[in-house]
Structure 1
Amino acid sequence: MRLLYFILPFLLVSSACTSTSQSSEEDPVEVSYPERAKDMVIYEVNIRQYTPEGTFNAFAEHLPRLEELGVDILWIMPIQPIGEKNRKGGLGSYYSIKDYTAVNPEFGTMQDFKNIVDEAHKRGMIVILDWVANHTAFDHAWTEKEGYHNTDSLGNVTWPEGTDWTDVADLNYDNKDMQSEMIDALRFWVKEADVDGYRCDVAGFVPMEFWNRAKDSLDVDKDLFMLAEWDEPKMHEDAFHMTYGWGLHHYMNEVAKGHKNADSLKSFVSKDYERYPEDAIRMNFTTNHDENSWNGTVFERFGDGHQAYAVFAFTVQGMPLIYSGQEAGLDKRLAFFEKDTIDWGEVKYQDFYAFLIDLKKNNPALYNGEYGGKPEFVDVGNPMVIAYTREKEGNRVDVIINLSGKNQSVSIPESWDFSDVFSGGKVSASITELQPYQYFVGSKSAGNE
């Protein structure tokens, strides 16, 4: 059941398909990315672990619930066949691609995947496919082609330098023929399955010249949404609309451990706005497949504060990410190279995340990138409490969060006088202390004065 009682009364532009508005001649005007993604929320899909079956068809049963949750972008982890040579574990890594233009038979068929894309489109969602451009499996056909991969001093194909990724073969981007074949493979999924974009794995390991070339080529076929798994401004030069907020995420983990305080988050966010171009969308999260499998669950890293940190990630800037099972309270590290099913017995945080998504979509102050308001931080006299206001064209959101597990004294500004959207309670200068991980959010719409 979605929580809708606080929804603000203005018209939202649908993200179901290419958004349009009407000109004076009633001709539709196409809205492209990044504007089209201004109020979107992204959801990462781990097909292998999502259901006991680990198939496309089994995952498809969850699409009505994800529609109800309110997510807009389904980022699906790699679905291609996994290499067998030098494989890690019993099932191997999704990121060891044996064939760029085929489907892992463990997940189902190409038609099964196309059915997911079609059904997602009908439900107002777009689908982006995880793309591994930096390396292939050691038994990919390209390893037999001269110059397609980097080699060691003996001429042997090698894994990416400086990593322990011994199951994947490093590609050579000096080879223009390989680049062209990679672009053809990207185009295949747009043409064959109608995907809407790509999440590009370790995008900074691949030259920007390739990404820009690929995006310019693919734009002829479809307006695609592009996400870089990288945290550098250069990724926004042409190819990418959104980049990972890795830096902010690591700072959040450090604050949760008590190694940093909320003031460090203020400084980081302010510098992030200075570093990145105005139209850059930053992706913020409390977990994803890497964090969950290798660094711990949200409960391990944030403890009882996992919801408080989620509120921060949803409201401070950029586009929020929800990982598979996060709404069900995923409390285990999912095995990366083996089958390890998510427990959907109780989807205990579905309403919580649906609430946050509704809040975001219905207040333009929380929109992504240049379409939302820049956070203005407020001093409340306590370095473990973060407070900020975001405003955009008469829309306003006020947020105050105790990021610690202890009671914290605060001095709330006299100008703050609002009803908390979660509890309905009044927030004002009369509040002088916050409980552990307590948070308040006030929302005001220009259309609801």
Structure 2
Amino acid sequence: MPQNNETEKFRRGFLGPRDEQGLYRENEKIDVRGAASSVPAQDAPIRVAQVMGKMLGGGVETVVMNYYRHIDRSKVQFDFLVDADSTLVPREEIEDMGGGIFEIPPYQHVFAYQRELRRLFERESWRIVHSHINALSAFSLRAAKKADVPVRIAHSHSTAGKGEPIKNAIKAVLRMQANRYPTHRAACTEHAAKWLFGKGVDYRLVRNSIELGRYSFNAGEREKCRGELGLSDSTFAVGHVGRLTTQKNQSFLVDAFAELLKVRPDSVLFLVGDGADRKKIASRARELGIADKVRLLGQRDDAWRLYQAFDVFALPSIYEGLGMVAVEAQAAALPCVCSTEVPADVDLTTGCSHIELAEGPGRWATALLEASTVPSRGLSPSDAFGLKAYDIEASAVELGDWYIKLYEGAVKQ
């Protein structure tokens, strides 16, 4: 297949065909006809191409990696197709588990993006392509269809909301193609499925499951983590985890926290994550004179520990497909205050409540303080039962079985 300069420019760091150990030989360019096939030999695992878009440490990447860590990799293996401008690709972990990483042009370069995807799909002969880029899956699955990939899964992880007019306009156009190229559909909630695929369309519910035991509340870990953060026993810690973007609405949370400080000055707001709005959020905290009370911790890989240290969790998003961080927080028996734009699917325990953003920062401050009055930190039997549906061990078995069923169906065709 002819190459062009634009495509080649973005293929630096591309990991080529697998060697005898199942690893990839870096930067090797080969013709499609000589490619190693992703059709498994007898007893070899099925290889599924996971189209990830940009890996920036967000929720979707966390979901897919959770499944990859817990799926039976002797039966199903993942290969990750990531945009070349990704900043947080867990390369070493993926390769150690037997997965492959393919860097492709960023999706903003639409034509180069689709050319490279089609080239890879034809060369690697994946029977299953699972695309996680929401409305943008129209591009990746179009390329997969042109390459005659028999199983093409579009996965809806999110929705849309106010405050992002340009992005929403693009989404609206792409949603019209949402059902044109996939053979199968998946979503984290019914809300996310209806948003992308419309009403009455069949889809598979694939929950944003987590390792529940890892998040379980531990008083000793709480004391240790609060000490590391410099918190006294009496300090009221408000926590939030998420990309610093318009969608997650951290600027509103800073305003609400400023109101909270008027009532309880011995409080600290922790924002865990990074993103385009970091400077804006820091600037807003300075304007309100509370910069010393707002701590931006950046990207962290120990959120499970931080949940132990917090006293209440806030998720004021303007839209969500689910809001997986609220599931994590509830698994840690942490009271949660979410916006009404966060789907009710996230209400897994009695400690989760929803407040309209229109009620304003003052009402949110009150809600955060009221949530913290829960008498003890722990899960009731009913709370534990509600969380059980998000157990990654069981969910990974279900996903693996689905992949195998789809693969076997494709082979018979």
State the TM-score, normalizing by the size of structure 2: 0.32
Higher helix share: 2
State the TM-score, normalizing by the size of structure 1: 0.30
